């Protein structure tokens, strides 16, 4: 059903709120609150009604409920003071009071739908993607359902990523069975990227292929294939959807940066500046991280409440802190932690904001470390397919002594995105877990694996030095420490423990003794 009120249109099927053809960005729970109030506009809605409809009976705080109602009002241009659309009746509840026109939801791609899609891309400033039904190459028309089901699973998985705008299936599936030009799909749906694929099924084998395509040029950005047993069809569907979701977000981020560099806009907005900052983050040098911070600061001048930039700036400061690449006072650290919490307050359902803020808070807040672990868990509940959230959450669990859980998270991240350019972080988690296990040969192997991808990674250099000392290879350990001191010239054992949280006492003793033997000054 489609509901129209004033300049607004709420499409319940597509889960889209738009005004004059431009999509309004709303969080899922805020959308659900607004939709429920509109659908129940003939009566007063109680607090319990909202909890049952939106939170399915779960108990939430008054602050959470109030923030979602305020956000629903803000999305449609209303306020708690004006109450022109959503009215509060003291001690009774809420009621949607604006006139509403209901329109039956059609399946055809209307000009309005196309206009909304284009408006969404302009407004959201996020990579917009359409997932087409996967082609059936099996020669059996009865198998068409599988290709459609595969695309549906991927749409659900991608929709958990806060960094993407995903076109609803009832728009993208209208191309089912048609011979199409991907560039035409991009123009009609207003997306920059299209995910297409195929399914080939035999009696003994099932092969699924996927391709991510630039809708403007028709060029392939990513492709992969997955093989499995036809008997385990649903398990294979889940595995493909998870892996595709894990790969697509970082791949599109790189593609968007390439687009930005080609187009060279005259005036950069907050999204553009944040993209450029991410490119500097990937280089992972002292200079590049400082350049990233400069771009984040510029983004926050443009939009002081841009949660992605707030969280990413806090995360970047924590990386500098971890590497010893920036002298940060207590005031600097408090400011970074404050920015992380501010980002969480603005975007409490944004999985990427949550894990970035959590990493900053863990490393720089001291007393709030347990709350940081809670943020990691919340992030993974929202998007369980984020390789980076899994990796950094695994890191923290490992440092707290939960090495089995930490190792499992890092291994899942590797499985989801085995070609992730940040794989050195995943190997770093595995190396730390092996130190706790006192499996120093494995710790040295995985540390070397991380350093092969990123020779400046201080965590891996420290693990390598410790592991080599424990293996009796003191001279090689001294070489590792010498390299570590080139990364951070002023590092000492005491400075390391003053800066880096090591909650596990046995691990702290191992590090202190081994790093001194390897030549790190006390």
pLDDT in tens, 160-180: 887 788 887 777 888 877 677
The reported pLDDT for the residue numbered 106 is 52
List pLDDT tens digits, range 66-76.
Answer: 888 988 998 89
pLDDT-based confidence at 12, cuts 50/70/90? confident
Within 10 angstroms of residue 265's Cβ, the number of other Cβ atoms is 8
Lowest average pLDDT, out of 122-126, 448-452, 462-466, goes to 122-126
Candidate from 36-45, 160-169, 506-515 with smallest mean pLDDT:
160-169
Nearest CA-CA partner of 459 in 405, 509, 518, 511: 511
Query: Which pLDDT value is given to residue 423?
Result: 93
User: Interhelix angle for 233-263 vs 403-416, to 10°?
Assistant: 70
Question: Any idea what DSSP says for residue 25?
Answer: P
Q: Which two tokens stand for residue 11?
A: 């499409």
Q: Mean pLDDT, to the nearest integer, of 206-229?
A: 90
Among 30-44, 260-274, 286-300, 374-388, the range scoring the smallest mean pLDDT is 260-274
Predicted local distance difference test score (pLDDT) of residue 119: 41
Q: What is the mean pLDDT of residues 434-445?
A: 96
Specify whether the CB–CB gap between 483 and 471 falls below 8 A. no
Considering the chain, what is the average pLDDT of its residues?
86
| pLDDT value of position 266 | 57
Q: Is the pLDDT of residue 136 over 90?
A: no
pLDDT at 358 over 70: yes
Give the pLDDT confidence score for residue 264 in this predicted structure.
Answer: 67
Pairing of strands 206-214, 220-228: antiparallel
Span 479-509, pLDDT tens digits: 999 999 999 898 999 988 888 888 888 999 9
**Does the pLDDT of residue 109 top 50, yes or no?**
no
Q: Is the pTM for the entire model greater than 0.75? A: no
* Angle formed by the axes of helices 270-283 and 307-323, nearest 10°: 20
Phi, psi of 193 (to 5 degrees): -140, 145
For the chain, count helices (H), then strands (E): 22, 13
pLDDT at 265: 63
pLDDT at 401: 86
Give 288-326 pLDDT, tens digit per residue: 999 999 999 999 998 898 999 999 999 999 999 889 888
Identify the bridge partners of residue 2 per DSSP, sorted by sequence position.
11, 103
- Using the predicted structure, report yes or no on whether residue 93 has a pLDDT greater than 50: yes
Q: What is the mean pLDDT of residues 81-88?
A: 86
**Which tops the pLDDT comparison, 59 or 522?**
522
Helix (H) or strand (E) holding 22: strand 22-24
Residue 123 in this model has a pLDDT that exceeds 70: no
Find which of 118-122, 150-154, 155-159, 392-396 is predicted with most confidence, using mean pLDDT: 392-396
Mean pLDDT of 3-9: 88
Least confident of 16-30, 121-135, 234-248, 389-403: 121-135
Q: Indicate if the pLDDT at residue 125 is higher than 80.
A: no
Q: By three-state DSSP, how is residue 428 classified?
A: helix
Beta-strand ranges (E) seen in 45-127 are 86-89, 93-96, 101-103
For residues 355-378, average pLDDT = 89
Q: What is the reported pLDDT for 105?
A: 60
The yes-or-no verdict on residue 121 having pLDDT over 50 is no
Which residue ranges form the domains of the chain, and what is each CATH number?
Answer: 2-103 (1.10.10.10), 125-247 (3.40.50.10610), 385-522 (1.25.40.10)
CA 335-160-166 angle, 5° bins = 110
Phi and psi, residue 273, nearest 5°: -65, -35
Of the chain, the percentage scoring pLDDT greater than 90 comes to 42
What per-residue string of b and e applies to 17-34 under the rule 16 or more CB within 10 Å gives b?
A: bbbebbbbebbebbbbbb
């Amino acid at each position: 059903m489609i509901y129209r009120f004033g300049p607004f249109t709420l499409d319940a099927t597509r889960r889209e709120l738009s005004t004059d053809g431009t999509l309004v960005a709303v969080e899922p729970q805020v959308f659900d609150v607004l939709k429920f109030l509109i659908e129940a506009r003939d009566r007063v809605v109680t607090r319990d009604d909202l909890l049952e409809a939106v939170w399915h009976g779960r108990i939430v705080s008054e602050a959470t409920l109030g923030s979602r109602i305020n956000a629903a009002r803000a999305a449609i241009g209303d306020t708690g003071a004006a109450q022109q659309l959503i009215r509060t009746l003291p001690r009774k509840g809420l009621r949607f009071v604006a006139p509403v026109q209901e329109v039956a939801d059609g399946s055809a791609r209307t000009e309005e739908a196309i206009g909304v899609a284009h408006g969404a891309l302009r407004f959201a400033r996020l990579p917009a993607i359409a997932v087409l039904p996967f082609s059936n190459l099996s020669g059996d028309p009865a198998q068409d359902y599988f290709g459609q089901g595969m695309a549906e699973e991927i749409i659900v998985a991608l929709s958990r990523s806060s960094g993407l705008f995903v076109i609803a299936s009832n728009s993208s599936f209208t191309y089912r069975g048609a011979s199409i030009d991907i560039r035409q799909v991009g123009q009609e749906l207003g997306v920059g990227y299209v995910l297409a694929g195929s399914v080939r099924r035999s009696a003994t084998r099932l092969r699924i292929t996927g391709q991510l395509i630039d809708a403007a040029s028709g060029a392939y950005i990513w492709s992969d294939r997955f093989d499995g047993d036809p008997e385990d069809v649903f398990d294979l569907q889940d595995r493909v959807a998870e892996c595709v979701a894990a790969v697509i977000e970082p791949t599109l981020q790189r593609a968007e940066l390439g687009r930005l560099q080609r187009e060279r806009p005259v005036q950069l907005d907050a999204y553009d500046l944040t993209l450029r900052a991410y490119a500097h983050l990937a280089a992972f040098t002292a200079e590049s991280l400082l350049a990233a911070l400069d771009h984040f600061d510029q983004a926050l001048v443009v939009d002081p409440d841009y949660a992605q930039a707030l969280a990413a700036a806090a995360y970047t400061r924590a990386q500098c802190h971890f590497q010893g690449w920036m002298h940060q006072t207590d005031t600097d650290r408090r400011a970074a932690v404050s920015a992380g919490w501010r980002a969480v307050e603005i975007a409490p359902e944004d999985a990427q904001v949550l894990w970035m803020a959590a990493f900053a808070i863990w490393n720089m807040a001291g007393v709030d470390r347990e709350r940081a672990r809670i943020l990691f868990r919340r992030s993974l509940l929202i998007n369980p397919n984020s390789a980076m959230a899994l990796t950094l959450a695994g890191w923290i669990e490992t440092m707290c002594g939960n090495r089995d859980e930490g190792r499992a998270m890092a291994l899942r991240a590797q499985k989801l995105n085995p070609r992730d350019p940040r794989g050195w972080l995943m190997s770093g988690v595995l190396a730390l877990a092996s130190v706790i296990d006192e499996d120093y040969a494995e710790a040295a192997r995985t540390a070397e694996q991380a350093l092969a991808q990123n020779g400046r990674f201080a965590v891996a250099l420290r693990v390598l030095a410790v592991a080599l000392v424990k293996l009796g290879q003191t001279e090689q350990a001294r070489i590792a420490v010498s390299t570590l001191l080139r990364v951070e010239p002023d590092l000492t054992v005491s400075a390391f423990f003053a800066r880096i949280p090591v909650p596990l006492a046995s691990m702290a003793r191992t590090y202190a003794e081994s790093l001194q033997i390897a030549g790190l000054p006390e």
